[in-house]
């Protein structure tokens, strides 16, 4: 009798990192059930799997999931990516962030508890460290500086608590600066890549905050997806890992790779000069290391630059307006 295919639930599976994780799981012959309300993700991210019988998409918000939902029946792993992830909107409307990132996570945990899920792999955020010393390891003090960061950290704490009380196994991966194809192209608060790509398409200067020498630990999305699947399949349980490239790159270098005129804006309070993941622990326990070099990753994205045609075009004036709350509350 053939072995049963492993089954995974991927919350936020139509989104940026989630859809790449779905790609890898299907490649490894998993059955995959996606839970996504498509508020941040898009079905186009899954279009190449349209006829795959091993894939099921349920368009539902995690806030509305019943603890006894049959969607989680006979599932081996839950990859929990669904959540709200922007800084300024979390300052302006924190309730939405705590509802989704905390209480939504609670719903997923209850569903897992009632269905004897082997392991939950949680997409945590390195923003929990605040303005951290670098390189940053998992023992660094926690200092969330805005509601998004706090809500993601509280979601992680819930998962740890469920292990203590209900013996629910987990791995929490604190993601640093993920980038790559399928990163969100629309919406007001996209990542720096989307800001630059739209400006390049429009022949406008690239708006760089501060002097551009600030560095971010950019880690490519397929490397992130690989870490999540490794975390699930590993015998390692109930650990927190940082997940970055361990190789910070400057914003000026990013702008140079993209090409074009530059213009500089005032530095924002509460933003770190450098994010830098210490990968010592994840390398030791999960035998994971990033494979995609930064320049290669950016060039992969530039091949799809036309997908940013409908993205918002930023300039100094509308950036000042959009970040007004940032300067008000973070100064």
Q: Which two tokens stand for residue 278?
A: 């210490």
Q: Helix, strand, or coil here: 305?
A: helix
Q: Which two tokens stand for residue 307?
A: 């997908």
Q: How many Å apart are CA 302 and CA 58, to the nearest integer?
A: 31
Q: Taking the CB of residue 7, how many other CB atoms lie within 10 A of it?
A: 18
Which one, of 271, 149, 297, lies nearest residue 212 by Cα?
Answer: 271
Question: What DSSP element (H or E) covers 185?
Answer: none
pLDDT, tens digit, for every residue of 104-155?
A: 999 999 999 999 999 999 999 999 999 999 999 999 999 999 999 999 999 9
Q: Which two tokens stand for residue 142?
A: 């926690």
User: To 10 degrees, the CA torsion angle through 42, 47, 51, 55?
Assistant: -40
Give the pLDDT of residue 186. Answer: 67
326 vs 252: which has the higher pLDDT: 252
Which of 32-36, 95-99, 194-198 has the least mean pLDDT? 194-198
Which one, of 127, 107, 23, lies nearest residue 62 by Cα?
Answer: 107
Would you call 62 exposed, middle or buried from its count of C-beta atoms within 10 A (0-12, 13-18, 19+)? buried
Give the pLDDT of residue 115. Answer: 95
**What does each C-alpha distance from 157 to 7, 141, 204, 222, 239 come to in angstroms?**
25, 14, 43, 26, 12
User: Any idea which residues carry the catalytic annotation?
Assistant: 148
Domains of the chain with bracketed CATH = 7-178+219-243 (3.40.50.720), 183-216+247-275+292-330 (3.90.25.10)
| Pairing of the two strands 239-243 and 170-175 | parallel
Longest CA–CA separation in the chain, Å: 66
Q: Helix, strand, or coil here: 69?
A: coil
Q: What's the DSSP call for residue 136?
A: B
Which of 58-62, 225-229, 314-318 has the least mean pLDDT? 314-318
Q: Is residue 1 very low, low, confident or very high in pLDDT (cuts 50, 70, 90)?
A: very low
pLDDT, tens digit, for every residue of 147-184?
A: 999 999 999 999 999 999 999 999 999 999 999 999 98
Give the pLDDT of residue 189. Answer: 58
Q: Is the pLDDT of residue 188 over 60?
A: no
pLDDT, tens digit, for every residue of 44-93?
A: 999 999 999 999 999 999 999 988 889 999 999 999 999 999 888 999 99
Q: Could you give the residue ranges of the DSSP H alpha helices within the chain?
A: 16-27, 87-92, 94-98, 104-114, 147-166, 192-201, 221-233, 251-258, 280-286, 294-302, 316-322, 324-330
Q: How many Å apart are CA 57 and CA 10, to the nearest integer?
A: 10
Predicted TM-score of the model (pTM): 0.96
Q: Helix, strand, or coil here: 240?
A: strand
Pair 194, 308: CB distance under 8 Å: yes
Q: How many Å apart are CA 19 and CA 2, to the nearest integer?
A: 28
Q: Which two tokens stand for residue 281?
A: 């622990």
Task: Please state the rounded mean pLDDT for residues 191-218.
Answer: 94
Q: How many Å apart are CA 72 and CA 78, to the nearest integer?
A: 9
pLDDT, tens digit, for every residue of 245-254?
A: 999 999 999 9
322 vs 160: which has the higher pLDDT: 160
Give the pLDDT of residue 81. Answer: 98
Q: Is residue 190 very low, low, confident or very high in pLDDT (cuts 50, 70, 90)?
A: low
- pLDDT, averaged across the chain: 94
Main-chain phi, psi angles of 121, to 5 degrees: -115, 115
Q: What percent of the chain has pLDDT over 70?
A: 98
Give the pLDDT of residue 11. Answer: 98
pLDDT, tens digit, for every residue of 268-294?
A: 888 899 999 999 999 999 999 999 999
pLDDT, tens digit, for every residue of 28-48?
A: 999 999 999 999 899 999 999
Which one, of 84, 270, 277, lies nearest residue 176 by Cα?
Answer: 277
């Amino acid at each position: 009798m053939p072995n049963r295919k492993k089954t995974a639930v991927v919350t936020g599976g139509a989104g940026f990192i989630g859809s790449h994780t779905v790609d890898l799981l299907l490649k490894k012959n998993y059955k995959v059930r996606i839970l996504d309300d498509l508020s941040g993700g898009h079905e186009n991210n899954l279009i190449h799997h349209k006829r795959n019988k091993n894939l099921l998409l349920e368009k539902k918000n995690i806030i509305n999931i019943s603890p006894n939902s049959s969607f989680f029946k006979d599932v081996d792993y839950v990859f929990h990516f669904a959540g709200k992830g922007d800084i300024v909107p979390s300052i302006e409307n924190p309730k939405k962030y705590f509802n989704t990132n905390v209480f939504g996570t609670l719903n997923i945990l209850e569903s897992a508890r009632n269905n004897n899920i082997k392991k939950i792999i949680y997409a945590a955020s390195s923003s929990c460290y605040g303005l951290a010393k670098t390189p940053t390891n998992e023992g660094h003090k926690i200092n969330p500086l805005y509601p998004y960061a706090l809500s993601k950290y509280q979601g992680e704490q819930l998962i740890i608590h469920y292990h203590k009380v209900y013996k629910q196994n987990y791995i929490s991966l604190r993601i640093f600066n993920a980038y790559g194809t399928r990163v969100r192209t629309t919406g007001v608060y996209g990542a720096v890549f989307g800001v630059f790509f739209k400006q390049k398409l429009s022949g406008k200067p690239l708006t760089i905050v501060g002097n551009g020498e600030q560095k971010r630990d950019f880690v490519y999305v397929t490397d992130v997806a690989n870490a999540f699947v490794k975390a699930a399949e590993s015998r390692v349980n109930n650990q927190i890992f940082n997940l970055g490239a361990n190789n910070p790159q400057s914003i000026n270098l990013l702008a140079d790779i993209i090409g074009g005129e530059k213009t500089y804006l005032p530095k924002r309070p509460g933003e770190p000069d450098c994010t830098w993941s210490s990968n010592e622990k994840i390398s030791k326990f999960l035998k994971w290391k990033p494979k995609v070099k930064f320049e290669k990753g950016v060039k992969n994205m530039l091949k799809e630059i036309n997908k940013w045609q409908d993205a918002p075009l930023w300039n100094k004036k509308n950036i000042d307006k959009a970040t007004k709350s940032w300067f008000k509350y973070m100064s």
